[in-house]
Each structure stands twice: as structure tokens, then as C-alpha cells.
Structure 1
């Protein structure tokens, strides 16, 4: 999934470049579009009683983005557990005018059951959508290690 973004005056910090928190907001918007394109919009998640949560977010700022810049953001799957309950996505921000990669956002997430308030396996249609989505070159299966028994 690739989305294109223009920036607003409110997106800038006092140094005249895009504020750090905007990158996370844009990555989130790209994920929403990514899921919506797979048939899972906010209504579907509400009906399922399920939602995506982030467990970790890593932003790498590689080059400045300014007010007049346009960027495209591509979200690709970079990891999945066998049951699809946990996933990793890699977002690549590319400046349109010169093709420079200006930032990356890597997230580790999971599906959250809104009733039990626990990480849960997704329904088969969502698991399949994630399994068949475009993959990042760094893709690796996520293998969960069993927790050591408490003493």
C-alpha cells in the first residue's frame, strides 16, 4: 500500500522541518489505508470486536522534510506469527521530488480483542489478508519463545 502526503504549516517544528510526531501519525494513517484496502475498515473492526495495537514503534529520520515536500509512504509486512496474532510492518517514506528515502517507521503490532482485552488470533479472512499482503525485503516469520515457568 502506497499513500501520498502533503504537509501543512502545523506539521512543522521551530526548525522549519516536519515535526517528529507527524511521522508516526502518517505511518498510522498509512496502516489504516492498508487495512481498509484489504477490506478491514473501522466498521469491520468494530463488528469483529477487534483492533490493531502497537507494541513497539521505531522511527528513523534520514533526511529533512520541508513544507513544500510531498512524500509517498509504502507499508509492507515484515513479519507474522503462524497464527497471525502478531505482525510487523515496515513503512518507507520517499520524497517525491528526488526519490530519496527520508524516513522509515518499523512497527510491531498485534490484534487486540476488545472484550477480553488480550492479544488474539484474527479471523481467517484477516489472517489471510495479512499473509497475502506485499512483503518487505527484510520479512521474517515471527517465532514466539515460550515464557519460562515462574518459580
Structure 2
């Protein structure tokens, strides 16, 4: 499991004086990019392949409040990927300075071709990087159907 530690800053606090929901999203994004960086995904390598990550959803479950003054850790577990690498799924947990879990997030995303603006599978070098990474106990091969599991489509809208 991968971990990233954060200090809760003044700008991370909301009107209730606890960690703001937007800060949770930012901490998770930073954790994902640090993890991907270790696999060779960075601004230069993604630009060379003209790809970028997109988020389909981030479902955050809050268990307890978090306040400034003590560091927090955010974990990342690799819980799913499609065979071609187009779709990916991560799970994050938030831990206080005592190691108590105070929030969890399930997130799913994909890779987009930044010129064509279409979803794309990963180049072989990136697929190989993911092959060697630690996977969660509940890791699964994702399909397009998995990307729709939380979507309630209005009757007047068809998804392609």
C-alpha cells in the first residue's frame, strides 16, 4: 500500500473549522500523482504520449472530523484496471496521527487522448509499469460496465 503524509493547512479548513471536503479531494489527487510518478507517469512522459488522467467519480465516506495541528496520511490501493489500461480504480483511506481511519474514498477514472479528446488505452510501457505494482486483495479486471455501476441514467438520455 502506498502512503502520502499531509499537514492540514489554514486553506484546507472550511467554515466549520475542520478539514474541508475540497481538501480531501486535493489530498487524494496529490497522493495519486505521487504514486503514478513512481511508476514513470509524470508531466513529460504523459505529454510524450499525449495522454492525461480523468476522474469519473470520487465517492468519499467521512467517519470523523479532522482538524489542523497534526499530520494526516492518505493511502492508495490499486483495486482495478481494464485489460488495456483505459479504466482504473483506486481506494484511498485517511488516517489521523494515531493511525485511526477517519475517511475512505472509492475513485474510478480513465485515460484520455488530449488531442482527440477520447478515452484511450495505455501505451505498453505504462501497462508494464502497472503489471509490477502491488494490487489490493479485491483487485479486479474492469470493463466498461464497471464504469457505469453508480450511474442512474435519466430515461431521456442514452449513454453511448
Q: How does 1:56-75 map to 2 (within 5 A)?
A: 56-75=57-76
Partner of 1:143: 143
Cα distance in structure 2, aligned partners of 1:144 and 1:17: 37
Superimposed CA distance per residue, residues 55-113 of structure 1 (whole angstroms, 9 cap, x where no aligned partner): 111111111110012111111111111111101011111112x2111111211111111
Cα distance in structure 2, aligned partners of 1:69 and 1:60: 21
Deviation at 1:114, TM superposition (A): 0.8
1:111 partner SS:
strand
> Which structure 1 residue ranges, 4+ long, deviate > 6 Å from structure 2?
none
Are 2:11 and 1:10 equivalent residues in the alignment? yes
Deviation at 1:138, TM superposition (A): 2.8
Cα distance in structure 1, aligned partners of 2:71 and 2:138: 26
Q: How does 1:1-151 map to 2 (within 5 A)?
A: 1-96=2-97, 98-145=98-145
Gaps in structure 2 of 5+ consecutive residues: 146-158
Cα distance in structure 1, aligned partners of 2:69 and 2:119: 41
CA-based RMSD: 1.5
Deviation at 1:35, TM superposition (A): 0.8
Cα distance in structure 2, aligned partners of 1:40 and 1:49: 12
Q: Is the 8 A contact 1:111 1:122 kept in 2?
A: yes
How many residue pairs were aligned? Answer: 145
Gaps in structure 1 of 5+ consecutive residues: none
Q: Is the 8 A contact 1:64 1:102 kept in 2?
A: yes
Deviation at 1:10, TM superposition (A): 1.6
Q: Is the 8 A contact 1:90 1:136 kept in 2?
A: no
